[in-house]
Every structure is written in C-alpha cells, then in structure tokens.
C-alpha cells in the first residue's frame, strides 16, 4: 500500500485495539484490508457492513462511528493522510494520547513520546521506574509517560511499549503475575517479595 494508506491502516488498527484482544484486532484488520482499507473505501462502506467487518472488537458500534467521522476528517482536512503530530491526532474521534504517540512512532517513525497503556503503566510502577507526586507511584498513564520520558533515552521510546505489552500479557499480569517464571524477579520489588512467601 502507498505510505499514506499504510499510515491510515496503522491508525485504524490502533483505534480498534482499545479493549480488544490482539488476535481479534488482527482478524478485524484482515477483513478490513480484504475490503480495501483506504479512507475513501471506508467512507463508501455502509455502517452495517463496517460493523460486520470489525465485529467482535470491543465497543464495535461506537468504533464504527469513530472510524467514519475520522475518515471524513482525514479526507477533508488531510488529503486522506493522517495528522503529523500528537495534538492533531488527539483531536480525531476515538484517539487518545496513547494511540497518538504509538501512531507517531509507528506510522510516522517519529519518537515524539511514549505510548503508555495499562501494561506499561502497571509494569513501570511495579519496577519502580516511575514516580509521581510525593515520590509515590504514578496515578495515571499521563504521569507515567512524563516520568518515563524524563529519564528513558529517546532511542528507547519506540520499543518500550512493544516490549512491555507482551511481557504484561504473558508474565507480569495484573492479577497473579508469574513472578516465578520471570527473568527479572531478582530486580523487581514484587518478584523479590514473592520469593519470600
């Protein structure tokens, strides 16, 4: 696909990923691409068909509306491309800071910030890599992003999300983390505490 189509597809994938398992998102993206995933094709696809293509992604009915509204904005304002900065990306329906930073990293190959999702937020707090006000854990993903960016080299901003998401899904889970299988257990305050038990 042309570069701007690839960037659009990256944005769509991120928009669908919220509250959706990776394999469900992958299947939806495959169906969308088979249907011709461009701004114009998405705009020409009726809502019912679009819903069938993306179902069962989380909140699929809302995402149909977001995809249509976003596509119209991209056609009218960006010549079917996506914005080149976080501020404008965040103005698109259904796009928040996490998606915008990841989109800048992946679609534009520009490390403008760290995409902090639930896994990055949880794991960096468990490892004590971040601190919020009064030297405690960060309370929000935005606090986590700012804290990480204050010390993590820019060269690592693009990969930290990828690394920690898989790690958080498989090992450092929100409930019942697999500390006994974790290679970082001797460095991690949670892992060390689990060895004592």
* Cα–Cα distance measured from residue 174 to residue 55, given in angstroms and rounded to the nearest whole number: 26
98 tagged catalytic: yes
* Cα–Cα distance measured from residue 82 to residue 73, given in angstroms and rounded to the nearest whole number: 9
Which residues, 6+ apart, have CB-to-CB distance to 106 below 8 Å? 10, 158
Which candidate in 33, 65, 98, 128 is catalytic?
A: 98
* Cα–Cα distance measured from residue 21 to residue 57, given in angstroms and rounded to the nearest whole number: 8
116 Ramachandran zone, left/alpha/beta (phi>0; psi -120 to 50): beta
- Alpha helices, DSSP H, located in the chain: 3-17, 22-34, 39-44, 47-54, 60-78, 86-89, 97-106, 118-126, 141-151, 157-170, 189-196
Catalytic (active-site) positions? 98
């Amino acid at each position: 696909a042309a570069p701007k189509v690839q960037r659009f597809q990256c944005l769509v994938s991120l928009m669908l990923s919220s509250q959706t398992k990776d394999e469900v998102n992958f299947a939806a993206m495959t169906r969308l691409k088979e249907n011709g995933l461009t701004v114009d094709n998405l705009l020409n696809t009726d809502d019912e068909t679009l819903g069938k293509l993306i179902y069962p992604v989380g909140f699929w009915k809302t995402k149909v509306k977001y995809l249509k509204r976003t596509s119209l904005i991209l056609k009218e304002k960006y010549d079917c491309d996506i914005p080149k900065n976080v501020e404008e990306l965040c103005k698109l329906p259904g796009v928040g800071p996490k998606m915008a930073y990841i989109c800048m990293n992946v679609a534009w190959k520009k490390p403008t910030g760290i995409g902090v999702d639930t896994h990055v937020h949880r794991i960096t707090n468990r490892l004590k890599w971040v601190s919020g006000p009064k030297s405690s854990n960060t309370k929000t993903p935005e606090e986590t992003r700012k804290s990480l960016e204050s010390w993590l080299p820019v060269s690592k901003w693009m990969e930290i999300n990828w690394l920690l998401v898989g790690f958080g899904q498989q090992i450092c889970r929100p409930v019942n983390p697999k500390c006994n299988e974790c290679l970082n257990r001797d460095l991690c305050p949670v892992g060390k505490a689990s060895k004592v038990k």
